[in-house]
Amino acid sequence: MENFIYFLIFLIIGLFSSYSDIRYSKIKNNLVIVGIFFSFISFMYLLLFKYLSFHFLSFVIINAALITLVAFLIWYFGFWAAGDSKLFIMFSFFVLLKVNPFQKILPLYPIIVFLTNVFVLLFIFLLAVYFTKVVVFIKNKVLQSGSRSFYDVFLFSLKNIFKYIKKRIFKCLRFVLSYLTFIMLIQLVVLNMNFPQLKLDSSLSMLSYLMPLLLYRTFNKTLLKHVSILVFSSFLMICLLVNSFIIFGSSAILSFIVYLKNFTYFFVLFYSLRKLLSLRNDIIEEVPVANLPDRLQLTDESILKFGFKKIGKLYPDGLTQDQINEVRTDLLRNRSSETIEIYKTLPLAPFIFLGAFITVLVKFPIINLLIFGKISQTYF
């Protein structure tokens, strides 16, 4: 009966929030409030009638704080809107309700698995969109060229891709070395704290796989401006490897090789995801100035073309009502255009809902199934 009520509320909130995000580009706060209230009542029930321990209470409080922090950081770095962050927090509580609090895992690890599954689903969708765009682009080039064959256009596209990779590879190498050094330092410190009962390797690896999405902008702006960063990172990595070899023996090198292989898989995946996310800004529509939608996102071309100096700061949620009024007034007063180009935002609620649902059912990151071709053991 408990599971029936749990999944009933889970599905109702997930389906309605997904429909609302797709249809109206907004997530109603009432749905989030109902979900959080249900989670709170469920946690209180588990505390009073099932676990009745300080460990469970601390488990809930610590994870709730960390979940809120992660959701805030993802919103702060502009990955999704505030409504998506609130929905992520709510579904994270639903995932926690199915976690055994006495299993020896790091705090927040189930939520990291949940977040990974959301990203993987989004990645698969965007990859399909990207593949479709590439096919249409090549087809149009063939039709426009007339004499050029499909093979010629495809070869031309590959040359452009390799030229781009060659241009970016050094910058990417600096990031990878700096980032690996940063993560290895964290792992070395934690391993020296002697907590063998925790799933340190898998948990910390999952954290390191997700952090590029959040830290890429910081690394890009502060750490990757000088070649000295590359030299220092390489030197520090060698020192860490030697130190690990002295402490843990040859197993440290073997563990690092396995870690490096897994890191490469995930880094390529999520770096590609960051690039594919720009596809959300490739879907453009032209709307009348007199009927501007709420939370609209102006295209870069629109901002440059009309030169809106009073818009102010741009947020992941879109323009505020005051900013929209300023845009409308400016366009109508100057009669510069009757329409304006805006981005069609990609609704993330369906991916968050499906990611949470899959996490509750299988309890492991589905990326393991995609990479290794086999079903992993449950992690919590």
* Residues 205-259 pLDDT 10s: 555 555 555 555 555 555 555 666 666 666 776 776 777 677 767 776 676 676 6
Q: Which phi and psi (to 5°) does residue 114 adopt?
A: -60, -50
* Burial of residue 169, with CB atoms counted within 10 A of its CB: 0-12 exposed, 13-18 middle, 19 or more buried: exposed
CB 104 within 8 A of CB 379: no
Name residue 365's amino acid: P
The yes-or-no verdict on residue 353 having pLDDT over 70 is yes
Higher pLDDT, 187 or 364: 364
Higher pLDDT, 192 or 369: 369
CB 357 within 8 A of CB 14: yes
Query: What is the rounded distance in angstroms from the CA atom of residue 16 to the CA atom of residue 29?
Result: 12
Tell me the CB-side half-sphere exposure of residue 106, using CA atoms within 13 A.
18
What confidence score (pLDDT) does residue 188 get? 56
219-228, 240-249, 271-280, 301-310, range with greatest mean pLDDT: 240-249
18: pLDDT confidence band, cut at 50, 70 and 90?
very high
What confidence score (pLDDT) does residue 34 get? 93
**Least-confidence region, from 34-43, 88-97, 211-220, 310-319:** 211-220
Query: What is the rounded distance in angstroms from the CA atom of residue 222 to the CA atom of residue 225?
Result: 7
29: tokens are 């706060």
Mean pLDDT, the chain, rounded, equals: 72
Q: Is 337 left (phi over 0), alpha (psi -120 to 50) or beta?
A: beta
Q: Which of 253, 273, 281, 291 is nearest to 351 (CA)?
A: 273
The yes-or-no verdict on residue 35 having pLDDT over 90 is yes
Domain boundaries, the chain: 2-105+348-372, 122-278, 284-343
The yes-or-no verdict on residue 14 having pLDDT over 80 is yes
As a whole number, mean pLDDT of residues 282-292 equals 68
105-131 pLDDT, tens per residue?
A: 666 778 888 888 888 888 788 777 777
Q: Which of 342, 282, 281, 356 is nearest to 17 (CA)?
A: 356
Query: Can you give the pTM of this predicted structure?
Result: 0.69
Q: CB under 8 Å to 25, separation ≥6 — which residues?
A: 293, 294, 295, 345, 347
CB 21 within 8 A of CB 349: yes
Tell me the CB-side half-sphere exposure of residue 144, using CA atoms within 13 A.
7
